[in-house]
Amino acid sequence: MRRRGFLRGLGQAGVLLGAPIVFERFLPAGLTPVALVQAAQPPVLAGKDPRLQVLNDRPVNVETPAHLLDDRVTPAKRMFVRNNGHPPPAVDPRSWTLVVRGESIRRETSYTLDELKRRFENVSLQLVIECGGNGRAEFVPPASGNQWRLGAVACPRFDGIRLRDLLDDCGVQDDAVYVAYRGADTHLSGDPQRDPISRGVPLAKAIEAESLVAFGMNGEPLHPLHGHPLRLAIGGWPGSVSGKWLNELLVRDRVHDGAKMGGQSYRVPCAPVEPGEKVPDEAMCIIESMPVKSLITHPQTGLRLPLDESLTVRGHAWAGDLAVERVELSIDFGATWRAAELEAPANRLAWQHFSAHVDLPQRGYYEIWARATDTAGVAQPMLLPGWNPKGYLNNATHRVAVYAV
Supply the CATH number for residue 315's domain: 2.60.40.650
Residues 385 and 328 in one domain: yes
Residues 164 and 306 in one domain: no
Phi/psi at 206 (5° precision): -60, -30
Q: What SS3 state is found at 159?
A: strand
Specify if 359 maps to a domain. Answer: yes
**Is residue 305 within a helix (H) or strand (E), and if so which, with residue range?**
strand 303-305
The amino acid at residue 210 is: E
Asked whether residue 307 falls in the same domain as residue 187, the answer is no
Domain boundary among 258, 286, 314: 286
* pLDDT at position 16 over 90: no
Question: What pLDDT does 3 receive?
Answer: 34
- Is residue 74 situated within a structural domain? no
Q: Which of 165-169, 215-219, 264-268, 330-334 has the lowest mean pLDDT?
A: 330-334
CB 254 within 8 A of CB 178: yes
Domain end marker among 286, 320, 347: 286
Q: Are residues 356 and 336 in the same domain?
A: yes
Establish if 127 belongs to a structural domain.
yes
Rounded distance between C-alpha atoms, residue 109 and residue 250, angstroms: 11
pLDDT over threshold 60, residue 150: yes
Same domain? 330 vs 365: yes
In a 10 Å sphere around its CB, with 0-12 CB exposed, 13-18 middle and 19+ buried, how is residue 366 labelled? buried
pLDDT of 356 above 70: yes
Q: Residue 210 falls within a domain, yes or no?
A: yes
Residue 21 pLDDT grade (very low, low, confident, very high; cuts 50, 70, 90) = low
In a domain, 66, yes or no: no
Summarize pLDDT for 178-214 with one digit per residue, the tens: 999 999 999 999 999 999 999 999 999 999 999 999 9
Same domain, 258 and 355: no
Mean pLDDT for the stretch of residues 264-281: 96
Asked whether residue 110 is assigned to any structural domain, the reply reads yes
238 pLDDT band (50/70/90 cuts)? Answer: very high
Task: Flag whether pLDDT at 7 surpasses 50.
Answer: no
Domain of 7?
1-46
Confidence category of residue 46, pLDDT binned at 50, 70, 90: confident
Residue 77 domain-assigned (yes or no):
no
User: Kind and range of the H or E element at 119?
Assistant: helix 113-119
CATH of the domain at 178: 3.90.420.10
Q: Across the chain, what does the average pLDDT equal?
A: 91
Same domain, 267 and 341: no
40 in a structural domain: yes
Q: Domain end: 239, 260, 286, which one?
A: 286
Q: Are residues 147 and 249 in the same domain?
A: yes
Predicted confidence (pLDDT) at residue 19 exceeds the cutoff of 80? no
Domain identity same for 29 and 165 = no
Provide the number of structural domains found in the chain.
Answer: 3
* pLDDT at residue 45, rounded to an integer: 81
First vs last Cα of the chain: how many Å apart?
Answer: 36
Residues 151 and 241 placed together within one structural domain of the fold: yes
User: In the predicted model, is pLDDT for residue 347 greater than 80?
Assistant: yes
Burial of 34 (0-12, 13-18, 19+ CB in 10 A): exposed
**Same domain assignment for residues 312 and 246:** no
* Triad 264, 382, 278: Cα angle to 5°: 25
Residues 104 and 184 in one domain: yes
Its pTM stands at 0.89
